[in-house]
Every structure is written in C-alpha cells, then in structure tokens.
Amino acid sequence: MPNVHLLIHTYRNDNAMINKLSNSHKLDGTNYDMWKRKIEYLLDNKGLLEHLTVAKFPPFDKDKVGKPIDTANVQYQESLKAYQDWSKKDRRVCFTMLDCMHDDLIEEFELCPMANDMQD
C-alpha cells in the first residue's frame, strides 16, 4: 500500500506548483526558460511530459486505398479508446499551460490543437 503521507505531500506540492505558476510565475514573454522548466517538472511529476513532444491522432477509418475499415473490430476500438484517453490528458496539459500564462499571451496559444503544438 502506498504511503498516504507521501501521496498527500506530493499532491500538495503539485497544487502549490500549479498555484505559483498560475498566479505569480505566469509566462509573461520574458521568463520562458524558467517557466518551461517548471511546467516540465509539473507535467513530468503527473506523468504527462510526453504531451509536449508527442502528437497522436485518431485511428484511420479508411485504408491506404481509401476503402472503409471495419470500425467495429476490436483492434480499431482499442486504438480509438487509447487515442481518446490520450486526447483527454492532452487537453488537461493544454489547460494547465494556458492557466500558467498571462492573459495577453493566451490568445497566441489557445487555438493550438495539442500541447505539442503549444510547445513548438
């Protein structure tokens, strides 16, 4: 059984980091290097760091020649579920990053479809 005190401490540290980034240490256009390190630490601690470097897409519903694929088969459904799970986490990463920026910078990034695009 995991150490409950360690889990609570880790949770509080994550929340403290999010609060600092979203309140007093927001990205303002001059502090990118420090902000990036903090965001990477936070996302790595939550197991979400790959979202800054990896882009995933839904499974194809047509083969290479344009013929429809059986989307009811188990393999397709598993691929779709994996993509949906990844996409939900990616939206959390995007929201976290936007929440940790000054309002005047949000407009530049809010239309990015994935966290990877925001990072680029």
Fill in the DSSP letter of residue 87: H
CB count in 10 Å sphere of residue 41: 14
Residue 68, SS3? strand
Give residue 24's pLDDT.
Answer: 64
pTM of the model: 0.78
**DSSP E strand stretches across 7-120:** none
Which tokens belong to 85?
Answer: 């799970």
Which tokens belong to 23?
Answer: 């309140």
* β-strand partners of 68: 62
Give residue 13's pLDDT.
Answer: 61
pLDDT tens by residue, the chain, 120 residues: 444 344 334 445 666 666 666 666 788 889 999 889 988 988 998 899 999 999 999 999 998 999 999 999 999 999 999 999 999 999 999 999 998 898 899 888 889 999 999 988
Fill in the DSSP letter of residue 120: -
Give residue 29's pLDDT.
Answer: 87
Give residue 25's pLDDT.
Answer: 77
Give residue 9's pLDDT.
Answer: 45
Give residue 56's pLDDT.
Answer: 95
